Amino acid sequence: DSQPSGPTSGTARSASLFERAQAVTPGGVNSPVRAFNAVGGTPRFIRSARGAWLTDVDGNEYVDLICSWGPMLLGHGHPEVQAAVAAAVARGTSYGTPTEPEVELAEEIVARTPVDRVRFVSSGTEATMSAIRLARGFTGRDVVLKFAGCYHGHVDSLLASAGSGLATFAVPGTPGVPESSTALTLVLPYNDRAAVEKAFAEHGERIACLITEAAPGNMGVVPPEPGFNAFLAETCARHGALFISDEVMTGFRAGRLGQWGLDGAREGWRPDLMTFGKVMGGGFPAAAFGGRADVMSRLAPEGPVYQAGTLSGNPIATTAGLTTLRLATDEVYAHIDAAGETIKAAAAAALSEAGVPHVVQSTGTMFSVFFTDPADGPVRDFADASRTDSIAFAAFFHAMLDRRVYLPPSAYEAWFLSSAHDDRAVQTVLDALPEAAEAAAR
Ligand code: PLP
Protein backbone atom coordinates (compact mmCIF):
# COMPACT_ATOMS: atom_id res chain seq x y z
CA ASP A 1 0.00 0.00 0.00
CA SER A 2 2.52 2.54 -1.12
CA GLN A 3 1.65 6.22 -1.07
CA PRO A 4 1.96 8.06 -4.37
CA SER A 5 4.98 10.29 -4.66
CA GLY A 6 5.99 13.10 -6.95
CA PRO A 7 4.03 16.21 -7.79
CA THR A 8 0.28 16.37 -7.23
CA SER A 9 -2.03 15.57 -10.12
CA GLY A 10 -3.89 18.82 -10.55
CA THR A 11 -6.58 20.69 -8.69
CA ALA A 12 -9.35 21.10 -11.28
CA ARG A 13 -12.09 19.60 -9.12
CA SER A 14 -11.11 21.59 -6.04
CA ALA A 15 -11.04 24.76 -8.18
CA SER A 16 -14.47 24.03 -9.60
CA LEU A 17 -15.94 23.27 -6.17
CA PHE A 18 -14.36 26.43 -4.79
CA GLU A 19 -16.05 28.44 -7.53
CA ARG A 20 -19.44 26.88 -6.74
CA ALA A 21 -18.82 27.38 -3.02
CA GLN A 22 -18.02 31.06 -3.46
CA ALA A 23 -21.37 31.57 -5.18
CA VAL A 24 -23.32 30.22 -2.21
CA THR A 25 -21.05 30.77 0.82
CA PRO A 26 -19.06 33.90 1.77
CA GLY A 27 -15.48 33.31 0.63
CA GLY A 28 -16.42 29.76 -0.29
CA VAL A 29 -15.68 28.39 3.19
CA ASN A 30 -17.38 27.91 6.52
CA SER A 31 -14.45 29.17 8.60
CA PRO A 32 -12.18 31.91 7.22
CA VAL A 33 -8.71 30.37 7.58
CA ARG A 34 -9.67 27.46 5.30
CA ALA A 35 -9.90 29.86 2.33
CA PHE A 36 -6.12 30.24 1.78
CA ASN A 37 -6.45 34.05 1.92
CA ALA A 38 -3.15 34.27 3.83
CA VAL A 39 -1.23 32.13 1.35
CA GLY A 40 -3.12 32.56 -1.92
CA GLY A 41 -4.34 29.82 -4.22
CA THR A 42 -7.16 27.31 -4.12
CA PRO A 43 -8.02 25.41 -0.96
CA ARG A 44 -8.13 21.66 -1.51
CA PHE A 45 -11.55 20.11 -1.04
CA ILE A 46 -11.03 16.90 0.89
CA ARG A 47 -13.00 13.82 -0.05
CA SER A 48 -11.75 11.42 2.58
CA ALA A 49 -9.04 10.84 5.14
CA ARG A 50 -7.38 7.83 6.70
CA GLY A 51 -4.68 7.79 9.36
CA ALA A 52 -2.26 10.64 8.65
CA TRP A 53 -3.42 11.15 5.07
CA LEU A 54 -5.99 13.38 3.38
CA THR A 55 -7.33 12.65 -0.12
CA ASP A 56 -8.70 15.55 -2.12
CA VAL A 57 -11.45 15.47 -4.74
CA ASP A 58 -8.81 15.28 -7.52
CA GLY A 59 -7.30 12.17 -5.94
CA ASN A 60 -4.19 13.84 -4.50
CA GLU A 61 -2.98 12.54 -1.16
CA TYR A 62 -1.39 14.73 1.49
CA VAL A 63 0.18 14.19 4.87
CA ASP A 64 -2.19 16.06 7.15
CA LEU A 65 -0.51 18.55 9.49
CA ILE A 66 -3.81 20.28 10.26
CA CYS A 67 -5.59 17.35 11.90
CA SER A 68 -8.83 19.34 11.78
CA TRP A 69 -7.01 22.14 13.68
CA GLY A 70 -6.27 19.85 16.59
CA PRO A 71 -9.02 17.31 17.21
CA MET A 72 -7.68 14.29 15.29
CA LEU A 73 -5.20 13.15 17.94
CA LEU A 74 -5.50 9.52 16.81
CA GLY A 75 -5.51 10.32 13.10
CA HIS A 76 -8.45 9.91 10.74
CA GLY A 77 -10.84 6.99 10.78
CA HIS A 78 -9.41 5.29 13.87
CA PRO A 79 -11.16 1.89 13.76
CA GLU A 80 -12.24 1.88 17.42
CA VAL A 81 -13.59 5.43 17.27
CA GLN A 82 -15.41 4.65 14.04
CA ALA A 83 -16.94 1.47 15.48
CA ALA A 84 -18.11 3.26 18.62
CA VAL A 85 -19.60 6.08 16.56
CA ALA A 86 -21.32 3.65 14.16
CA ALA A 87 -22.83 1.76 17.10
CA ALA A 88 -24.00 5.03 18.65
CA VAL A 89 -25.55 6.21 15.37
CA ALA A 90 -27.42 2.93 15.11
CA ARG A 91 -29.07 3.73 18.46
CA GLY A 92 -30.26 7.15 17.29
CA THR A 93 -28.47 10.46 16.92
CA SER A 94 -30.01 12.95 19.35
CA TYR A 95 -32.72 12.68 21.98
CA GLY A 96 -32.72 15.94 23.92
CA THR A 97 -32.62 13.91 27.13
CA PRO A 98 -29.72 12.95 29.39
CA THR A 99 -27.63 9.99 28.16
CA GLU A 100 -24.96 7.66 29.53
CA PRO A 101 -22.06 8.75 27.27
CA GLU A 102 -22.36 12.31 28.65
CA VAL A 103 -21.86 11.03 32.17
CA GLU A 104 -18.94 8.84 31.14
CA LEU A 105 -17.20 11.63 29.21
CA ALA A 106 -17.72 14.06 32.11
CA GLU A 107 -16.22 11.48 34.50
CA GLU A 108 -13.25 10.99 32.17
CA ILE A 109 -12.60 14.75 31.99
CA VAL A 110 -13.00 15.21 35.74
CA ALA A 111 -10.54 12.33 36.30
CA ARG A 112 -7.95 13.79 33.94
CA THR A 113 -8.10 17.48 34.74
CA PRO A 114 -8.39 19.64 37.87
CA VAL A 115 -12.06 20.45 37.24
CA ASP A 116 -14.69 19.16 39.67
CA ARG A 117 -17.65 19.38 37.30
CA VAL A 118 -18.22 20.08 33.60
CA ARG A 119 -21.01 21.25 31.32
CA PHE A 120 -20.99 20.24 27.65
CA VAL A 121 -21.55 22.60 24.74
CA SER A 122 -21.03 22.25 20.99
CA SER A 123 -18.08 24.55 20.24
CA GLY A 124 -15.08 26.13 21.93
CA THR A 125 -16.70 29.51 21.35
CA GLU A 126 -19.71 28.49 23.40
CA ALA A 127 -17.41 27.13 26.10
CA THR A 128 -15.49 30.39 26.59
CA MET A 129 -18.61 32.53 26.22
CA SER A 130 -20.39 30.48 28.88
CA ALA A 131 -17.38 30.41 31.21
CA ILE A 132 -17.23 34.19 31.11
CA ARG A 133 -20.95 34.52 31.81
CA LEU A 134 -20.57 32.15 34.75
CA ALA A 135 -17.55 34.07 36.08
CA ARG A 136 -19.51 37.30 35.91
CA GLY A 137 -22.54 35.68 37.52
CA PHE A 138 -20.45 34.15 40.28
CA THR A 139 -18.42 37.26 41.13
CA GLY A 140 -21.08 39.87 40.44
CA ARG A 141 -18.36 41.83 38.55
CA ASP A 142 -18.19 42.80 34.91
CA VAL A 143 -14.64 43.36 33.59
CA VAL A 144 -12.81 40.64 31.63
CA LEU A 145 -9.03 40.52 31.01
CA LYS A 146 -7.59 38.79 27.96
CA PHE A 147 -4.26 38.74 26.15
CA ALA A 148 -3.57 40.03 22.65
CA GLY A 149 -3.02 37.12 20.26
CA CYS A 150 -5.01 34.66 22.38
CA TYR A 151 -8.04 33.40 20.46
CA HIS A 152 -11.03 32.11 22.38
CA GLY A 153 -13.49 31.73 19.52
CA HIS A 154 -15.72 34.40 18.05
CA VAL A 155 -17.22 35.68 21.29
CA ASP A 156 -18.21 39.36 20.85
CA SER A 157 -16.50 40.61 24.01
CA LEU A 158 -13.29 38.73 23.14
CA LEU A 159 -13.02 39.90 19.52
CA ALA A 160 -11.28 42.92 20.95
CA SER A 161 -8.09 44.84 20.34
CA ALA A 162 -6.13 46.72 22.95
CA GLY A 163 -7.22 50.29 23.57
CA SER A 164 -4.75 53.15 23.37
CA GLY A 165 -3.12 52.46 26.74
CA LEU A 166 -2.32 49.28 28.64
CA ALA A 167 -5.06 49.64 31.21
CA THR A 168 -7.63 51.26 28.93
CA PHE A 169 -10.63 49.31 27.71
CA ALA A 170 -10.60 47.51 24.39
CA VAL A 171 -12.07 48.40 21.03
CA PRO A 172 -13.99 46.04 18.72
CA GLY A 173 -11.74 43.75 16.68
CA THR A 174 -14.28 43.38 13.87
CA PRO A 175 -17.25 45.25 12.42
CA GLY A 176 -20.44 43.94 13.94
CA VAL A 177 -19.17 44.00 17.51
CA PRO A 178 -20.54 47.11 19.22
CA GLU A 179 -18.25 49.18 21.38
CA SER A 180 -20.46 48.33 24.32
CA SER A 181 -19.47 44.65 23.93
CA THR A 182 -15.74 45.33 24.27
CA ALA A 183 -16.05 48.23 26.72
CA LEU A 184 -15.65 45.81 29.61
CA THR A 185 -12.65 43.95 28.11
CA LEU A 186 -9.02 44.77 28.83
CA VAL A 187 -6.45 43.41 26.35
CA LEU A 188 -2.91 42.95 27.66
CA PRO A 189 0.39 41.78 26.15
CA TYR A 190 1.03 38.07 26.81
CA ASN A 191 3.78 37.03 29.22
CA ASP A 192 3.77 40.56 30.69
CA ARG A 193 3.41 40.40 34.47
CA ALA A 194 3.71 44.16 34.93
CA ALA A 195 0.73 44.76 32.61
CA VAL A 196 -1.35 42.27 34.59
CA GLU A 197 -0.37 43.90 37.91
CA LYS A 198 -1.24 47.33 36.52
CA ALA A 199 -4.65 46.21 35.25
CA PHE A 200 -5.51 44.69 38.63
CA ALA A 201 -4.18 47.74 40.47
CA GLU A 202 -6.46 50.02 38.43
CA HIS A 203 -9.56 47.86 37.99
CA GLY A 204 -9.17 45.01 40.52
CA GLU A 205 -12.53 45.49 42.22
CA ARG A 206 -14.36 45.20 38.89
CA ILE A 207 -12.47 42.28 37.35
CA ALA A 208 -14.67 39.18 37.10
CA CYS A 209 -12.10 36.99 35.38
CA LEU A 210 -8.92 36.72 33.39
CA ILE A 211 -9.10 34.34 30.43
CA THR A 212 -5.97 33.05 28.73
CA GLU A 213 -5.01 30.23 26.42
CA ALA A 214 -3.20 27.85 28.77
CA ALA A 215 -0.39 28.09 26.25
CA PRO A 216 -1.23 30.25 23.25
CA GLY A 217 -1.40 28.30 20.01
CA ASN A 218 -3.38 30.81 17.96
CA MET A 219 -0.50 33.22 17.33
CA GLY A 220 1.77 30.25 16.71
CA VAL A 221 2.91 28.40 19.82
CA VAL A 222 4.00 30.90 22.47
CA PRO A 223 4.77 29.05 25.69
CA PRO A 224 3.98 30.77 28.95
CA GLU A 225 7.21 31.82 30.60
CA PRO A 226 8.02 29.64 33.63
CA GLY A 227 5.61 30.45 36.44
CA PHE A 228 3.45 32.78 34.32
CA ASN A 229 0.23 30.74 34.64
CA ALA A 230 0.86 30.27 38.38
CA PHE A 231 1.32 34.04 38.66
CA LEU A 232 -2.00 34.60 36.85
CA ALA A 233 -3.82 32.12 39.10
CA GLU A 234 -2.35 33.70 42.22
CA THR A 235 -3.04 37.27 41.09
CA CYS A 236 -6.66 36.46 40.27
CA ALA A 237 -7.13 34.75 43.65
CA ARG A 238 -5.64 37.74 45.48
CA HIS A 239 -8.16 40.06 43.81
CA GLY A 240 -11.22 37.80 44.02
CA ALA A 241 -11.31 37.30 40.22
CA LEU A 242 -11.64 33.91 38.54
CA PHE A 243 -8.79 32.45 36.48
CA ILE A 244 -10.13 30.84 33.28
CA SER A 245 -7.63 28.63 31.51
CA ASP A 246 -8.71 27.99 27.91
CA GLU A 247 -7.49 24.51 26.96
CA VAL A 248 -9.69 24.13 23.88
CA MET A 249 -6.52 23.65 21.83
CA THR A 250 -3.97 22.40 24.39
CA GLY A 251 -6.36 20.14 26.33
CA PHE A 252 -5.54 16.42 25.81
CA ARG A 253 -3.14 17.59 23.06
CA ALA A 254 -0.09 19.40 24.55
CA GLY A 255 0.12 16.32 26.77
CA ARG A 256 -2.15 13.73 28.36
CA LEU A 257 -3.16 16.29 31.01
CA GLY A 258 -3.02 19.24 28.62
CA GLN A 259 -0.96 22.33 29.40
CA TRP A 260 -2.09 22.11 33.03
CA GLY A 261 -0.16 18.84 33.27
CA LEU A 262 2.97 20.74 32.27
CA ASP A 263 2.65 23.52 34.85
CA GLY A 264 -0.31 23.48 37.30
CA ALA A 265 -0.05 19.79 38.14
CA ARG A 266 3.65 20.21 38.92
CA GLU A 267 3.37 23.52 40.72
CA GLY A 268 0.27 22.66 42.74
CA TRP A 269 -2.32 25.19 41.56
CA ARG A 270 -5.45 24.90 39.48
CA PRO A 271 -7.61 27.24 37.40
CA ASP A 272 -11.04 28.23 38.73
CA LEU A 273 -12.57 27.44 35.36
CA MET A 274 -11.29 25.67 32.26
CA THR A 275 -12.56 25.29 28.72
CA PHE A 276 -12.08 22.27 26.47
CA GLY A 277 -12.92 21.36 22.88
CA LYS A 278 -11.22 19.84 19.84
CA VAL A 279 -9.68 16.49 21.02
CA MET A 280 -12.48 15.84 23.55
CA GLY A 281 -14.98 15.78 20.67
CA GLY A 282 -13.03 13.21 18.67
CA GLY A 283 -13.76 15.11 15.43
CA PHE A 284 -17.39 15.92 16.30
CA PRO A 285 -18.83 19.21 17.57
CA ALA A 286 -18.32 18.91 21.32
CA ALA A 287 -16.72 21.22 23.84
CA ALA A 288 -16.99 21.85 27.56
CA PHE A 289 -16.36 24.24 30.37
CA GLY A 290 -15.78 23.16 33.93
CA GLY A 291 -14.13 24.03 37.18
CA ARG A 292 -14.57 24.48 40.90
CA ALA A 293 -17.70 22.83 42.29
CA ASP A 294 -18.84 26.01 44.07
CA VAL A 295 -18.56 28.02 40.84
CA MET A 296 -20.17 25.38 38.60
CA SER A 297 -23.08 25.00 41.02
CA ARG A 298 -24.13 28.54 40.10
CA LEU A 299 -25.17 27.25 36.65
CA ALA A 300 -28.79 26.56 35.75
CA PRO A 301 -30.66 24.48 36.68
CA GLU A 302 -28.76 24.20 39.98
CA GLY A 303 -28.04 27.92 40.18
CA PRO A 304 -29.26 31.14 38.63
CA VAL A 305 -26.77 31.62 35.73
CA TYR A 306 -28.53 30.57 32.52
CA GLN A 307 -26.86 28.40 29.91
CA ALA A 308 -28.29 25.75 27.55
CA GLY A 309 -27.98 23.97 24.17
CA THR A 310 -30.20 21.77 21.96
CA LEU A 311 -27.33 19.51 20.89
CA SER A 312 -25.16 19.91 24.02
CA GLY A 313 -23.76 16.54 25.11
CA ASN A 314 -24.92 14.97 21.85
CA PRO A 315 -24.60 11.16 22.14
CA ILE A 316 -22.56 10.71 18.95
CA ALA A 317 -20.13 13.51 19.78
CA THR A 318 -19.68 12.42 23.38
CA THR A 319 -19.18 8.80 22.29
CA ALA A 320 -16.48 9.88 19.82
CA GLY A 321 -14.81 12.04 22.46
CA LEU A 322 -14.97 9.39 25.15
CA THR A 323 -13.51 6.72 22.87
CA THR A 324 -10.76 9.10 21.76
CA LEU A 325 -9.79 10.07 25.31
CA ARG A 326 -9.75 6.44 26.46
CA LEU A 327 -7.37 5.60 23.61
CA ALA A 328 -5.17 8.65 24.30
CA THR A 329 -2.57 6.87 26.39
CA ASP A 330 0.93 8.00 27.35
CA GLU A 331 2.20 6.06 24.32
CA VAL A 332 0.08 8.21 21.99
CA TYR A 333 1.65 11.39 23.36
CA ALA A 334 5.15 9.88 23.32
CA HIS A 335 4.66 8.98 19.66
CA ILE A 336 3.40 12.43 18.71
CA ASP A 337 6.23 14.01 20.67
CA ALA A 338 8.87 11.93 18.89
CA ALA A 339 7.42 12.64 15.44
CA GLY A 340 7.26 16.33 16.33
CA GLU A 341 10.90 16.38 17.47
CA THR A 342 11.97 14.83 14.16
CA ILE A 343 9.96 17.30 12.08
CA LYS A 344 11.05 20.32 14.15
CA ALA A 345 14.72 19.41 13.82
CA ALA A 346 14.40 18.81 10.08
CA ALA A 347 12.47 22.04 9.50
CA ALA A 348 15.06 24.04 11.43
CA ALA A 349 17.92 22.37 9.54
CA ALA A 350 16.31 22.94 6.14
CA LEU A 351 15.49 26.58 6.85
CA SER A 352 18.99 27.23 8.24
CA GLU A 353 20.56 25.58 5.20
CA ALA A 354 18.47 27.82 2.91
CA GLY A 355 19.25 30.91 5.00
CA VAL A 356 15.62 31.54 6.02
CA PRO A 357 15.32 33.22 9.45
CA HIS A 358 13.08 31.18 11.72
CA VAL A 359 12.27 30.37 15.33
CA VAL A 360 10.80 27.02 16.41
CA GLN A 361 8.76 27.02 19.63
CA SER A 362 6.88 24.31 21.49
CA THR A 363 4.86 23.45 24.53
CA GLY A 364 4.54 19.76 25.28
CA THR A 365 3.77 17.99 22.01
CA MET A 366 2.58 21.19 20.29
CA PHE A 367 4.96 23.25 18.17
CA SER A 368 5.12 25.85 15.44
CA VAL A 369 7.68 27.35 13.13
CA PHE A 370 7.82 31.15 13.10
CA PHE A 371 9.29 32.88 10.06
CA THR A 372 10.84 35.52 12.32
CA ASP A 373 14.44 36.56 12.87
CA PRO A 374 16.04 34.70 15.80
CA ALA A 375 18.17 37.81 16.36
CA ASP A 376 14.97 39.41 17.72
CA GLY A 377 14.76 36.66 20.33
CA PRO A 378 11.98 34.20 21.09
CA VAL A 379 8.36 35.01 20.27
CA ARG A 380 6.91 36.04 23.64
CA ASP A 381 3.75 37.85 22.62
CA PHE A 382 1.59 39.02 19.75
CA ALA A 383 3.88 41.91 18.81
CA ASP A 384 6.76 39.44 18.38
CA ALA A 385 4.57 37.03 16.38
CA SER A 386 3.50 39.88 14.10
CA ARG A 387 7.08 40.14 12.79
CA THR A 388 6.46 36.93 10.83
CA ASP A 389 7.54 37.06 7.17
CA SER A 390 4.20 35.97 5.73
CA ILE A 391 5.44 36.11 2.15
CA ALA A 392 8.21 33.62 2.90
CA PHE A 393 5.67 31.44 4.72
CA ALA A 394 3.27 31.52 1.75
CA ALA A 395 6.04 30.30 -0.59
CA PHE A 396 7.02 27.62 1.92
CA PHE A 397 3.39 26.53 2.37
CA HIS A 398 2.78 26.07 -1.36
CA ALA A 399 6.06 24.24 -1.90
CA MET A 400 5.08 21.84 0.90
CA LEU A 401 1.57 21.41 -0.56
CA ASP A 402 3.07 20.65 -3.99
CA ARG A 403 5.09 17.94 -2.23
CA ARG A 404 2.01 16.44 -0.57
CA VAL A 405 2.17 18.05 2.84
CA TYR A 406 -0.93 19.99 3.93
CA LEU A 407 0.20 22.55 6.50
CA PRO A 408 -2.22 24.95 8.19
CA PRO A 409 -2.62 27.74 5.60
CA SER A 410 -1.52 30.41 8.05
CA ALA A 411 1.85 31.44 9.47
CA TYR A 412 0.35 31.71 12.97
CA GLU A 413 -0.64 28.12 13.66
CA ALA A 414 0.68 25.04 15.34
CA TRP A 415 1.52 22.09 13.08
CA PHE A 416 -0.67 19.26 14.34
CA LEU A 417 0.35 15.61 14.39
CA SER A 418 -1.42 12.41 15.39
CA SER A 419 -0.56 8.92 16.58
CA ALA A 420 -1.16 7.84 12.95
CA HIS A 421 1.80 9.90 11.71
CA ASP A 422 4.05 6.93 11.11
CA ASP A 423 7.56 6.82 9.63
CA ARG A 424 6.27 7.06 6.08
CA ALA A 425 4.19 10.15 6.79
CA VAL A 426 7.05 11.80 8.68
CA GLN A 427 9.47 10.91 5.89
CA THR A 428 7.17 12.58 3.34
CA VAL A 429 7.41 15.77 5.42
CA LEU A 430 11.20 15.46 5.75
CA ASP A 431 11.58 14.93 2.00
CA ALA A 432 9.54 18.06 1.24
CA LEU A 433 11.32 20.40 3.64
CA PRO A 434 14.61 21.23 1.83
CA GLU A 435 12.98 22.42 -1.41
CA ALA A 436 10.22 24.23 0.48
CA ALA A 437 12.88 26.04 2.50
CA GLU A 438 14.58 26.99 -0.77
CA ALA A 439 11.26 28.35 -2.06
CA ALA A 440 10.89 30.43 1.12
CA ALA A 441 14.39 31.86 0.59
CA ARG A 442 13.56 33.30 -2.81
N1 PLP B 1 -10.27 28.60 22.33
C2 PLP B 1 -9.14 28.22 21.72
C3 PLP B 1 -7.86 28.21 22.47
C4 PLP B 1 -9.17 27.82 20.38
O5 PLP B 1 -8.04 27.44 19.77
C6 PLP B 1 -10.40 27.83 19.69
C7 PLP B 1 -10.47 27.44 18.26
O8 PLP B 1 -9.50 27.35 17.56
C9 PLP B 1 -11.54 28.25 20.38
C10 PLP B 1 -11.44 28.61 21.70
C11 PLP B 1 -12.87 28.28 19.69
O12 PLP B 1 -13.32 26.99 19.42
P13 PLP B 1 -14.39 26.72 18.26
O14 PLP B 1 -13.70 26.97 16.97
O15 PLP B 1 -14.78 25.28 18.48
O16 PLP B 1 -15.54 27.64 18.52
Q: Which residues pair with 143 in a beta bridge?
A: 207
List pLDDT tens digits, range 397-406: 999 999 999 9
Q: Which residues are catalytic?
A: 151, 246, 278
Domain ranges of the chain: 12-64+329-441, 79-327
User: What is the position in ligand 1's atom list of the atom closest to the CA of 278?
Assistant: 15
Examine the pLDDT at 168 and tell me if it is beyond 90.
no
The verdict on pTM exceeding 0.95 is yes
**Has domain 12-64+329-441 been given CATH number 3.90.1150.10?**
yes
Give me the percent of the chain exceeding a pLDDT of 70. 98
For 79-327, CATH number? Answer: 3.40.640.10
Examine the pLDDT at 1 and tell me if it is beyond 50.
no
Examine the pLDDT at 4 and tell me if it is beyond 70.
no
- What spacing in Å lies between the alpha carbon of 13 and ligand 1's midpoint? 30
Give residue 77's pLDDT band: very low, low, confident or very high (50, 70, 90). very high
Examine the pLDDT at 138 and tell me if it is beyond 60.
yes
- What spacing in Å lies between the alpha carbon of 213 and ligand 1's midpoint? 10
Average pLDDT of the chain?
Answer: 96
Average pLDDT value for residue range 317-321: 98
Ligand 1 pocket: which of 33, 120, 245, 249 to mutate (most atoms <8 Å of CB)?
Answer: 249
List pLDDT tens digits, range 267-309: 999 999 999 999 999 999 999 999 999 999 999 999 999 999 9
Q: With a cut of 0.85, is the ipTM above it?
A: yes
Q: Give, using CA atoms, the residue closest to atom 13 of ligand 1.
A: 124
pLDDT value, residue 6: 54
pLDDT value, residue 164: 77
List pLDDT tens digits, range 198-241: 999 999 999 999 999 999 999 999 999 999 999 999 999 999 99
- What spacing in Å lies between the alpha carbon of 416 and ligand 1's midpoint? 15
pLDDT value, residue 426: 98
Q: SS3 letters for the chain?
A: CCCCCCCCCCCHHHHHHHHHHHHHCHHHCCCHHHHCCCCCCCCCCEEEEEECEEEECCCCEEEECCHHHCCCCCCECCHHHHHHHHHHHHCCCCCCCCCHHHHHHHHHHHHHCCCCEEEEECCHHHHHHHHHHHHHHHHCCCEEEEECCCCCCCCHHHCEECCCCCCCCCEECCCCCCHHHHCCEEEECCCCHHHHHHHHHHHHHHEEEEEEECCCCECECCCCCCCHHHHHHHHHHHHCCEEEEEECCCCCCCCCCCHHHCCHHHHCCCCCEEEECHHHHCCCCCEEEEECHHHHCCECCCCCECCCCCCCCCHHHHHHHHHHHHHCCHHHHHHHHHHHHHHHHHHHHHHHHHCCCCEEEEECCEEEEECCCHHHCCCCCHHHHCCCCHHHHHHHHHHHHHCCEECCCCCCCCCCCCCCCCHHHHHHHHHHHHHHHHHHHC
Give the residues surrounding ligand 1 with Cβ less than 6 Å away: 69, 123-125, 128, 151-153, 213, 218, 246, 248-249, 277, 287
User: What is the position in ligand 1's atom list of the atom closest to the CA of 126?
Assistant: 16
Average pLDDT value for residue range 340-357: 98
User: What is the position in ligand 1's atom list of the atom closest to the CA of 150?
Assistant: 3
List pLDDT tens digits, range 102-133: 999 999 999 999 999 999 999 999 999 999 99
Give residue 163's pLDDT band: very low, low, confident or very high (50, 70, 90). confident
